[in-house]
Chain A
Amino acid sequence: MVLPPVAVVAVFIGFPVGTAIAYTLGKVGGPNSTIALIAQRQHVAHHGVTTAAYREVLGNPHVRTDLYATIWVTLVAVACVVVLSWAIALYLRLSDSWIARVVSALSVIPLFIPVVIASYAILTFYAATGFMRTLAYHVGWHSFPTLGYTLTAVVIGLVWVNVPFGVLMMSSGLNSVPNALIEAARDSGASLPRTVRSVLFPMNVIPTVIVATFTGIYCLGSFTVPYLTGPSAPNLLGVSMQQFFGSFNQPQQAEVMAMIVFVLAVGIGTIYVWANVRAAKRASSTS
């Protein structure tokens, strides 16, 4: 029963990733022969493997800037998503006013909106003639920066897209903290920040890790948001991959970048798996 999806993943993801690894190491035969026919600036290994493609790509200063931009944007976006979704989820956990119900509805809006549209909406909102500049102009801040086509806009877009998932995960985590625990802490005189730090935070670590890792992996490989809202250069590696493949006709170089992103994503994924396995072990040892 498990076979069909595993087979689909193996044939259409596992196999291509395998051939891609071989291709980046200079293997141009077999499944790579079609793409090798049309590729420019290819590094071919005649015996064994060659790391020439990796050396070329990592030696390219533009690619290195893109790599730093990717890491930087990912870190900032993850930090913003974690903080923002924590704040929203915390508010939803502690308040039962009608405002909380409005907040819970508003915070999942991006789930409803396709990413292409979100990116476009964000681009126009922060453009030279967008709302933010208009508002700043009316309050007398005439030099408010145009954020459209900057890495800041990319961060804003990525945060926008990832907040609903963050809020859903964090809310689910915080809702499993028993009311009695919060009340006990409050009754024994703990202030609200203290209650959050000593009671709610320790019990919401796993959801926080899940939000951070999934957002991180999403940002590293993202294309649509940086492509539509970001600058021409430096931009995220997802966009450069597209350029190297589509515009420069250098699929091997594009694949090398994909490998770099993949290695980073696997690093993040390991944290996710480790946190989950640890939580599962703990759950089975207590019950």
Chain B
Amino acid sequence: MSAVEHQGTVLGELRQAELPVVAANRRRGPAAVKNASVKLLGAVVVTILLVFMVGPLVWLMLRAFSGLWQFPQFLPSTWTVQWWRSVFDDKNLAHSIKLSFEFAPVVTILSAVICLPAAYAFSRFNFPGRRVLLISLFATNAFPKIGLYVSMAGVFYTLNLMGTFMGVVIVQLIGTIVFMTWIPTAAFSAIPRSLEEAARDVGAGPLRVFFRVTFPLAAPGILVAMILSFLAAFDEAQGTFLVGIPNYITMPTEMYTLVLNYPEQAAAVFSILLAIPSVILMSFARRHVMGGRLAEGFQIR
């Protein structure tokens, strides 16, 4: 714990030394404007957020516990937990939950192994075509997924990947590459080279410099990238459905069936279950995501 805090202060001091402006902004105080229009803006923003962002989720929660609920009542007239029982008793659903938790970690680790060295290279070496390559990774976002999966099926059939574990891993992997490259690239770039050079000067080898200096400082950015990748893999439904069927039906894939075929309450229960891992993971990473790690990753330099 103290080591982590220590790194935090080191990074904090670096930032202050390098960018006094940003550091000064950390202490928000002085520029906070006391003004009626700011208060009005706040009221509007809070209302929109509560109704528009939070409302649907609360409504869904209520539905998961509702027995009889008639329009136009704000709350169900009878409450029940029978939908929870029916979801837990369904073997298919339990199996899909287990599968989801198998795929997502495998995909995240594989993605990290493939992308992190590249992220380091992108940030440290200015080779020809560097920017073009960074942007070309972004093409993974620009081509619509369905079109991609349709023609990817051809490649998968040739490589015998259809309906296999590896096939699903690959389909989920391609959705994580942008996060796993861009965000850590920005995280590595934020570390001043002088720090690494200083460690070299006092006799540390390149590996030791990387693992004792570079990696710990970039760790929060890498953590954000890993969590976003985990969630991307965990949420991926379309490609998993096309490639994994009939052997590998994960939670989000099952969700489509549920929404279309089951009583609304069962789908609501399943939704809540599916959201739990995301909520837990994101609450761990919240501070780093909010701290601009994500934002930095999306500005190509």
Instruction: Give chain A's interface residues, CB within 8 Å of chain B.
Output: 1-6, 8-9, 11-17, 19-20, 23, 31-32, 34-35, 84, 87-88, 90-91, 93-97, 99-100, 102-104, 106-118, 120-122, 124-125, 128-131, 133-134, 137-138, 156, 160, 163, 165, 168-169, 171-173, 175-180, 182-183, 186, 192-193, 206-207, 210, 214, 217-218, 220-221, 223-224, 228, 237-238, 241-242, 245, 251, 254-255, 257-259, 261-262, 265-266, 269, 273, 276-277, 279-280, 283
**Contact of B246 with A by CB under 8 A:** no
Q: Is B56 touching A16 in the complex (CB atoms < 8 A)?
A: no
- What is the CA–CA distance of A37 and B24 in the complex, to the nearest angstrom? 65
**Contact of B78 with A by CB under 8 A:** no
Q: Is A108 touching B290 in the complex (CB atoms < 8 A)?
A: yes
Shortest CB–CB separation between residue B276 and chain A, in angstroms? 10
- What is the CA–CA distance of A58 and B117 in the complex, to the nearest angstrom? 44
**Contact of B145 with A by CB under 8 A:** yes
Q: Is A133 touching B300 in the complex (CB atoms < 8 A)?
A: no
Interface of A is mostly: helix
A173: nearest chain-B partner, CB-CB = B295
- What is the CA–CA distance of A124 and B154 in the complex, to the nearest angstrom? 38
B231: nearest chain-A partner, CB-CB = A114
On chain B, the number of residues with a Cβ less than 8 Å from chain A's Cβ atoms is: 103
Query: Which stretch of B4-12, B131-139, B197-205, B211-219 is in the interface?
Result: B131-139
Q: Is B42 touching A17 in the complex (CB atoms < 8 A)?
A: no
21 A-B pairs with CB atoms under 8 Å apart are A2-B127, A9-B137, A95-B32, A99-B42, A102-B46, A107-B53, A112-B275, A114-B231, A114-B252, A115-B235, A131-B59, A138-B74, A171-B292, A175-B22, A179-B24, A223-B145, A245-B150, A254-B146, A258-B144, A269-B138, A280-B300
Residue numbers in A under 8 Å from B141 (CB-CB): 214, 217-218, 221, 265
**Contact of B103 with A by CB under 8 A:** no
Q: Is B238 touching A237 in the complex (CB atoms < 8 A)?
A: no
Q: Is A269 touching B136 in the complex (CB atoms < 8 A)?
A: no
Chain B 30-58 interface mask (CB, 8 Å, partner A; 1/0): 11110101100110111011101111110
Shortest CB–CB separation between residue A111 and chain B, in angstroms? 6
Apart from A96-B29, A128-B71, A276-B300, 9 more pairs, CB < 8 Å = A9-B140, A32-B151, A103-B42, A116-B255, A120-B259, A125-B60, A254-B150, A261-B144, A261-B147
